[in-house]
Structure 1
Amino acid sequence: MDEEPDFTYEEAITDCKKRIRPEFSEDEWSAKKFHALDLEVLNAPQENCDKIHVNDFTVEEFVDKYETASRPCIIRGAMDGWRAYGKWSLEWLAQEHGDVELRCGDDEEGERVEIKLSHFVRYMQEQEDDNPLYVFDENFADDEKETASMAQDFSIPTYFQEDLFKYLGEDDRPPYRWVLVGPKRSGSSIHIDPCGTSAWNSLLAGRKRWVLFPPGTPRSVIKPESWLAQKRSEALDWFLYHLDGMKQQLPAHQQPVEVIMEAGETIFVPGGWWHTVLNLEDTIAVTQNFVSSNNFMLVYQELKTSRTKLSRKWLRSLSFDRQDLVEVLKRNEKEEGKREG
């Protein structure tokens, strides 16, 4: 692929930054000088997350110990046999898919902001931003995308094969699968995944720091008004200046699970857990949200509230192949109606 003129790259980066953070001047993107920090020694985590191997438990044992118990864990060996592991690199992305545009954020109207992978890889190698741009794209595997072939380079880990949203079909199911390309110091703000879904996230390159708070942790502590008022606060800023204070406000049963994730590892994030991630190095990952028999009731109830028509269509689709779940749902709703009556 021929190199494009430098000004094309510069204009692309400038355009993305202006659209994503119009309140910032170019200098303000690196005003805090976070690039000079040593991320490895700052505010070290307590590392209290189980790390298991995929051969340690059968699917049934894993579901019982981790999914049913709503317990995050790191899984090793889940990517054995993946072509993506060892193949996907920044250089490979730029060479094989450099002209493909993927999402690196949203503008103030919620519209996608996209960037060519060749430009983004160069940006990753040169940037000194406090909160860098972050490719987080849910359409990379769409048939019309050149990157669609990447979906053939990985498979769903053995513990997460059940996929109840598949009964909605690809056109109707909510977004569920993303490729993540994150420069060091980039990260995600603290959040709960939508509709009660659980997730797995497999790291193909680099290192990530995760912090996860259990369901029931007060939102007023996780997202205090003073924090929300700052708007678009840096991911690293949260780790530096807010995490310790939050931990001091919480009782023992609501203390976070913390872990450093290495390349080749997969993390399981149960539904309802608050979580945030900081990229300690340049990273490439793939992640998928899922609904299983274990979290079906939670997801259905949340979907029924937020997207009523979709929940009805999902229930109709499930009635053909998973009548067992439909019957459980009906019994639960009947019992709930009796209690309310």
Structure 2
Amino acid sequence: MAAAPLYCVCRQPYDFNLFMIECDICKDWFHGSCVQVEEHHAADIDVYHCPNCHPIHGPSLMKKRKNWHRHDYTEEDDGRRPVQAGTAVFIQQLKTRHFPSAEEIVVRLLGSHVTWHYLETEGFQYPIIVEDMEGLGLKLPPTSFSVRDVQHYVGGEKVIDVIDVARQADSKMKLSEFVKYYYQPNRPKVLNLISLEFSDTKMADLVKVPDIAREMSWVEKYWPHDSIFPKPFVQKYCLMGVKNSYTDFHIDFGGTSVWYHVLWGEKIFYLIKPTKTNLELYESWSSSANQSEVFFGDKVEQCYKCVVQQGTTVLLPTGWIHAVLTSQDCMAFGGNFLHDLNIGMQLKCYEMERRLKTPDLFKFPYFEAISWYVARNLLKTLKELREEKCQPQGYLVEGVKALISALKTWLRRELTAPNSEIPDHIRPSLLIKELSWEIRHLEAQEEDSSKAVKSQGNASFSPERHHQARKVARRFKDHHRRYHHHLQHQHQYHHEPKLQSNLDILELHTREVLKRLEVDPLKEQDSDAGSKVNRTFKKVVQSSATTVDGNHDNALRLVLCNGRIVCERLRLGNRVLKAERDEALPCQQHHISPEKPSSCQQVKMEAGLQCVARVTHHAELRIKLTNLSVLKKKEKDEEGEKDKEEQIESSDSGSSEEEECEMRNSGSQHKPLKREHPSSPSRVPEGGAVTQGTWSSNSAVCVSSTTVAVEECLCTDSSLSSVFHPSKRHTQNSSPISNQATKGKRPKKGDATSKQRLSKLMKMSTHTRLLL
């Protein structure tokens, strides 16, 4: 194996961490520290002669300055090239510029007021200035602390990064060399030291970070002691700048927030809000080729000037774009920290750094690794809040959402460009899944609560809602009055009401009974189209005769008049039908016990049709409905549907034809039909009560359903009455409803024949799609 080549007068292998310069004569490489050449001086050398070539070829040749407004001061000054940032001309122009005062945006507070509770409540969106550090928890050296003292505590051999302001270029040098430069009476260059992190030095004991920065810092809160990655040290920086030092517009790495304290001297901050537009302009400006020739403050709407004097502390929020000018020699202390209040903005800044291909040296150390640690701890926090039934803060929910999106992006990136910062003991896919579930759960709760609050707020405060509610109340009141007040007390309408169809009359009555009985949903026998029209019902077995006797207001009288069916609801009681005089009684809930399905459906339907055929044109039907469900048709608008309902008074005479039908169906010695169940139900006792296990004696059609648990009986009334004017009707009760009371009577002379009545009813059944 060949030996590594040796360089310099020290004959050591090449070390990329050390600055080296090439001799233009012998082409050998030399360490800057070995030949007494500093890195920032190397840019000023035009031709370099090493110590070996110096005796023969003379000293090195230096570049000649030809301008004061360009980074390359050897360019010819023809007046056509723009001024670049950091040059002497630029600094002079910057001092003469006018900027709006930062008092419009900064928040001035006492040190004791800058607490976690305050920032969590009020937010951390604008810079905070504290003129007296008392109450901040900040500890600093005295104002007599000097640059030499820094060298004493940190060590002169520490290599630091300095900025050549005129060229806006970075270079490395030892701290002892910078101290030597600082105390020169005539400084040949403007050098700025802003990146001396001293957490691992003796000077760390002299400085204590403000309490708020330590409490909020992700590194302090979430970084585990057993992490495989080295802990980031970004909390303690010493900034030593000479007069006219300038740092161009930038966002601190990783979108971190910053605390600054000017120990002595003065600094001027130029602040720009991190709005969406400004961030887009900043990214475009940073990636442009002529970045140094354009003052970014001129591209945005507002750029504020903030002068920070000795003894003042500044807290700069996440993402703020800022430039800094050192108006006089200054020493300041500061630090960076990530926190929970602005997670989304921090992630945006980090992704912007990636797009701009920022070197790792100027990025937050292990930003992705600490983000995974934070995600794990935030998941634990969300779980605890959910178990305690507490709602997390809005900023935390939004931050977790942004973090989930970033983690997914990083996880996909690992497949194509492995550069993993995922801790070994974290399962990334499971962590993302659990965080996403917690967010979905919170969103569902938030949506439910917002709907409830919205509906309550609209009902309480919206005048339109009040008007609509009153309108609905009036409609309901009219509906209640129309169907529950006595028909004799109704007033004549001022306009002709809309005529109701036969099916509408039955539907309205059915809905009323449903509301009073509070029955279970009705189930159809079949799912085919025929079952929608020919609905079959089962007979009802009442659980208590007393209950039925107290609920006789469920009767409906149907009267055929001029080829149409009109309805009149009557109350059944004490073996007679009498017109309603008072408002309907409160509904009584009945407990119905269904019977077993019967096997004689067809025979019963035929027998029922034969009975209906004998009913005269004054046929009156009474329907007893129990356990009905909400019908499929939506309830039509109740307004304008009132009909002039003719009131029918029951007469003492009845139809013998109907009585014979009733006797045939419910006589004391009932003979079952061919396919009827052997155990035929008994007749109804006088008084209208139906005991458990009996059938209604007035049934005209009764069909059992084998698939539906609800039961219903379609009944016909045996009592008939003539149509009188309401003023001429009798007030006495109608004749008893009993097969024995009307047995043997025949139809009056002149009434229609059974064949004619059957023909009319069949036509009506065809048009109304109603099976009787």
TM-score, shorter chain, exceeding 0.5: yes
1:158 and 2:211 matched: yes
Residue in structure 2 matching 1:149, options 202, 209, 213:
202
Given that 1:65 and 1:71 are in contact with CA atoms closer than 8 Å, whether structure 2 keeps it comes out as: no
| 1:184-239 deviation per Cα after TM superposition (whole angstroms, max 9, x unaligned) | 222222122233321111222221110111112434644655994236x3xxx87x
In the alignment, which residue of structure 2 is the partner of 1:293?
A: 340
Secondary structure at the aligned position of 1:71 is classed as: coil
1:176 and 2:213 matched: no
What letter matches 2:180 in structure 1?
Answer: R
CA distance in 2, matches of 1:76, 1:52: 8
CA distance in 2, matches of 1:74, 1:205: 16
1:185 and 2:244 matched: yes
In the alignment, which residue of structure 1 is the partner of 2:269?
A: 210
CA distance in 1, matches of 2:94, 2:286: 28
1:283 shift after superposition: 1.8
Given that 2:196 and 2:239 are in contact with CA atoms closer than 8 Å, whether structure 1 keeps it comes out as: no
1:141 shift after superposition: 2.1
1:261 shift after superposition: 1.0
Cα distance change, pair 226–59 in 1 and its aligned pair in 2 (3 A): closer
Cα distance change, pair 315–276 in 1 and its aligned pair in 2 (3 A): same
1:118 shift after superposition: 2.7
Consecutive unaligned residues in structure 2, runs of 5 or more: 1-31, 47-61, 70-86, 165-169, 355-366, 387-391, 401-434, 445-772
What letter matches 1:92 in structure 2?
Answer: D
Secondary structure at the aligned position of 1:210 is classed as: strand
CA distance in 2, matches of 1:224, 1:304: 14
Residue in structure 1 matching 2:150, options 67, 83, 93:
93
1:48 and 2:154 matched: no
1:31 and 2:91 matched: no
Cα distance change, pair 264–42 in 1 and its aligned pair in 2 (3 A): same
Q: How much is the aligned-residue C-alpha RMSD, in angstroms?
A: 4.5
CA distance in 1, matches of 2:314, 2:342: 17
Cα distance change, pair 230–174 in 1 and its aligned pair in 2 (3 A): farther
What letter matches 2:253 in structure 1?
Answer: P
Given that 1:201 and 1:287 are in contact with CA atoms closer than 8 Å, whether structure 2 keeps it comes out as: yes
CA distance in 1, matches of 2:249, 2:290: 14
| 1:96-140 deviation per Cα after TM superposition (whole angstroms, max 9, x unaligned) | 54343322259xxxxx843222321232343243xx332233542
CA distance in 1, matches of 2:148, 2:174: 14
Given that 1:293 and 1:325 are in contact with CA atoms closer than 8 Å, whether structure 2 keeps it comes out as: no
Aligned length: 304
Secondary structure at the aligned position of 1:161 is classed as: helix
Consecutive unaligned residues in structure 1, runs of 5 or more: 1-6, 107-111, 143-147
In the alignment, which residue of structure 2 is the partner of 1:245?
A: 298
What letter matches 1:334 in structure 2?
Answer: R
In the alignment, which residue of structure 2 is the partner of 1:316?
A: 376
Cα distance change, pair 64–12 in 1 and its aligned pair in 2 (3 A): farther
Given that 1:138 and 1:176 are in contact with CA atoms closer than 8 Å, whether structure 2 keeps it comes out as: no
Cα distance change, pair 75–30 in 1 and its aligned pair in 2 (3 A): farther
Higher strand share: 1
Seq. identity, %: 20
CA distance in 2, matches of 1:62, 1:26: 56
What letter matches 1:120 in structure 2?
Answer: F
1:74 shift after superposition: 1.9
CA distance in 2, matches of 1:65, 1:211: 27
What letter matches 2:202 in structure 1?
Answer: S
In the alignment, which residue of structure 2 is the partner of 1:257?
A: 304
What letter matches 1:119 in structure 2?
Answer: E
Residue in structure 2 matching 1:76, options 113, 126, 131:
131
Given that 1:48 and 1:259 are in contact with CA atoms closer than 8 Å, whether structure 2 keeps it comes out as: yes
Greater mean deviation of Cα atoms: 210-219 or 273-282? 210-219
Taking CA–CA contacts closer than 8 Å with sequence separation of 6 or more, which of the two structures ends up with the larger relative contact order?
1
Cα distance change, pair 304–172 in 1 and its aligned pair in 2 (3 A): farther
CA distance in 2, matches of 1:309, 1:95: 35
CA distance in 2, matches of 1:179, 1:21: 31
1:277 shift after superposition: 0.8
Residue in structure 2 matching 1:115, options 151, 156, 173:
173
1:314 shift after superposition: 3.7
CA distance in 2, matches of 1:322, 1:150: 39
In the alignment, which residue of structure 1 is the partner of 2:162?
A: 104
- Aligned runs of 1:7-26 on 2, under 5 Å? 11-13=36-38, 15-18=39-42
Cα distance change, pair 297–116 in 1 and its aligned pair in 2 (3 A): same
CA distance in 2, matches of 1:320, 1:21: 59
Secondary structure at the aligned position of 1:283 is classed as: strand
Cα distance change, pair 48–223 in 1 and its aligned pair in 2 (3 A): same
1:30 shift after superposition: 8.1
What letter matches 1:90 in structure 2?
Answer: V
Cα distance change, pair 28–221 in 1 and its aligned pair in 2 (3 A): farther
Cα distance change, pair 191–149 in 1 and its aligned pair in 2 (3 A): same
In the alignment, which residue of structure 2 is the partner of 1:334?
A: 440
CA distance in 2, matches of 1:85, 1:121: 19
Greater mean deviation of Cα atoms: 43-52 or 323-332? 323-332
What letter matches 1:165 in structure 2?
Answer: V
Secondary structure at the aligned position of 2:331 is classed as: strand
Higher helix share: 1
Cα distance change, pair 322–185 in 1 and its aligned pair in 2 (3 A): farther
In the alignment, which residue of structure 2 is the partner of 1:3?
A: none
In the alignment, which residue of structure 2 is the partner of 1:127?
A: 187
Q: Which has the larger radius of gyration?
A: 2
In the alignment, which residue of structure 2 is the partner of 1:269?
A: 316
CA distance in 2, matches of 1:93, 1:10: 26
Cα distance change, pair 38–215 in 1 and its aligned pair in 2 (3 A): closer
1:271 shift after superposition: 0.5
What letter matches 2:328 in structure 1?
Answer: E
CA distance in 2, matches of 1:221, 1:320: 38
What letter matches 2:203 in structure 1?
Answer: M
